[in-house]
Structure 1
Amino acid sequence: MAATHSNMLDLGTKASYFELENPLNERLESLQELKGEKGTLIVFMCNHCPFVHHVIDKLVELHEDYREKGIQFIGINSNDIERYPADAPDKMLDFIKEKNISFPYLYDESQAIAKAYRAACTPDFYFFDEKLDLIYRGQMDESRPANHKEVTGEDLIIAFENLLAGQPQEELQLPSIGCNIKWKD
């Protein structure tokens, strides 16, 4: 399990448009139709990564807490499923059910969206305001699978609360750490 840091896309970057398959309904769904009224958290994730497994329950809980406040979550799986069949769309369905994922979890088969966002790891978090300008990117909190710190979601919660209160975001934003995205050859 090699740890890879996120690339820390420049704040203020506009969210790249996408239209990706949702394995749950076998439809293409776009950023425009899924985005939140006040904010949108895009999470590059996958089914098999121990870093994702470490935070997924808290991520689902945070979505439950914040979706009614106008913040939508969108999960995107960009991994190469030929080399990592555990991340295939049918396995995404199993993961959605097993973890009670209530936010859209989309499949980026071409990996074009991961490249557009400069995603590097799973999980990799990007939080956009209502205009789809990037206001936070980085870690969910300080917890990692092996460091015995509680998964709190603190860094994301601070970003969400700052947005909802009309306050500026924290200047210090620390990169996320996870498994590298499994790129196609």
Structure 2
Amino acid sequence: MSLTPSNMIKLGTKAPDFRLLNVKNNQFLSLSEIKGKHGTVIMFICNHCPFVKHVNEELVRFANDYKITGFGFVAISSNDVKNYPEDHPDKMAEVAETQNYPFPYLYDETQEVAKAYKAACTPDFYVFDENLDLFYRGQLDDSRPKNGLPLTGRNLREALDALLNNRRPPKIQKPSMGCNIKWKSN
């Protein structure tokens, strides 16, 4: 495991479009189908990363809390499944069911979507406004495996609350930290 921070791309960046397989129902979904009325949360996660396992419970709670306010949610796994078979789509579907993910879990087989978003780690979070302009990128909160801090989703919740209340993006946006995305070798 290589501890990797997220890339802090420029706020205002347009969300790159995509159409990926939702492992929960074997249907393809596009960004326009996921987009929420007030904004869209795109999370790059995977099955095997201890940082993702640590936040899974809060991801479910957070998405359930904010879906009803008009936000769209999606999780994307872009890892190389040849070298990391635990992240295979079949296993993704099992995790989505076991964790009761209230959002689609998409498989980025070509890794083109992760590259388009400049995703670097799992978990990696992006919040886009109603026009799909980047409003927030960074961490869920300060909790990490074994650091003793409670999972609250504070940073992501503050970003969505600001968006809902027509406030500016949070001034302090800390990078997420986690396992590096497992890129395919050429």
Task: Please report the TM-score for the alignment, with normalisation by the length of structure 1.
Answer: 0.98
Per the TM alignment, residue 162 of structure 1 is displaced from its structure 2 partner at its CA by 0.4
Tell me how far apart the structure 1 counterparts of residues 153 and 25 of structure 2 sit (CA, whole Å): 29
What one-letter code is carried by the residue in structure 2 that aligns with 1:31? L
Q: Which runs of 4+ in 1 moved over 2 A?
A: none
> What amino acid sits opposite 2:146 in the alignment?
A
The whole-number CA distance in structure 2 between the counterparts of 1:170 and 1:97 is: 33
In the TM superposition, what are the counterparts of 1:98-109 in structure 2 within 5 Å? Answer: 98-109=98-109
Name the counterpart of 1:168. 168
1:144 maps to 144
Task: Report the CA distance between 1:172 and its aligned residue.
Answer: 1.3
2 CA distance for matches of 1:113 and 1:169? 24
Give the counterpart letter for 1:12 in structure 2: G
The residue aligned with 2:65 is 65
What CA distance in whole angstroms lies between the structure 2 residues aligned with 1:23 and 1:69? 25
Consecutive unaligned residues of structure 1, counting only runs of 5 or more, are none
- 1:2 CA displacement: 2.3
* Equivalence map 1:1-185=2 (5 Å): 1-185=1-185
Question: In structure 2, what is the Cα distance between the partners aligned to 1:86 and 1:171?
Answer: 37
Task: Give aligned-pair identity as a percent.
Answer: 55
Q: Residues 117-156 of structure 1: CA distance to partner in whole angstroms, max 9, x if unpaired?
A: 0000000000000000000000000000021100110000
1:75 is paired with a residue whose SS is strand
Q: Give TM-score scaled by structure 2 length.
A: 0.98
Pairs aligned (count): 185
Q: Aligned partners of 1:155 and 1:10: how far apart in 2? A: 18
What RMSD over aligned residues (CA atoms) do the two structures have, in Å? Answer: 0.7
TM-aligned CA deviation for residue 27 of structure 1: 1.4
Amino acid corresponding to residue 59 of structure 1 in structure 2? L
SS at match of 1:169: coil
SS in 2 for 1:69: coil
- Cα offset, 1:68, TM superposition: 0.8
Report the 3-state secondary structure (helix = DSSP H, G, I; strand = E; otherwise coil) of the residue aligned with 1:178. Answer: strand
The one-letter code sitting in structure 1 at the alignment partner of 2:31 is: L
- TM-superposed CA distance for 1:98, in Å, is 1.1
